[in-house]
Structure 1
Amino acid sequence: MSLKWVDVLEIAIQLADSKPDTDPRYVNFVQLHRWVVELPEFSDDPQRGGEKVLEAIQAAWIEEAQ
């Protein structure tokens, strides 16, 4: 399976699993972008990860963490 920017929920789940001690409410978008593109299954254009998609990923990650 390969992850694209549209896979917001799956990205959030993988981030929650790989960064269990991280509170997603305090992750800035620069760090979040880096972590997403570093996910082993991520295979999309890093330039397409704009603010709106990062906001959606962060919101989904916050939901996962609760």
Structure 2
Amino acid sequence: MKWVEVQEIAIQLADAHPDVDPTKLNFVDLMRWVMALPEFDDDPKHCGERILEAIQQAWIEEVE
């Protein structure tokens, strides 16, 4: 899984952290959690604030 797979990342984060409110998560922790996902395999240098915002938004929509 790569950074651009925003929706899949959001789904996996929602499954892995069901008790977390994604609106309260800072981007440093979000980036660490994404990189810790078992299927994730991408360079951290390819990630930026826009990607993290997109992942966070997709996660928010996933849990609503």
TM-score tier by shorter-chain length is over 0.9
Tell me which residue corresponds to 2:49: 51
Instruction: Work out which of the residue numbers 10, 16, 39 in structure 2 matches 1:18.
Output: 16
Unaligned runs of 5+ in 2: none
**SS class of match (2:18):** coil
CA distance in 2, matches of 1:13, 1:41: 12
* Residue 6 (structure 1) shift: 0.6
TM-score by length of 2: 0.98
TM-score by length of 1: 0.95
Q: After superposition, what is the alpha-carbon deviation per residue over 1:9-48, rounded to whole angstroms, capped at 9, x for unaligned?
A: 0000000000000000000000000000000000010111
Please, what is the CA RMSD of the aligned residues?
0.4
One-letter amino acid of the counterpart of residue 32, structure 1: L
Which residues of 2 match residues 25-40 of structure 1 at below 5 A?
Answer: 25-40=23-38
Aligned length: 64
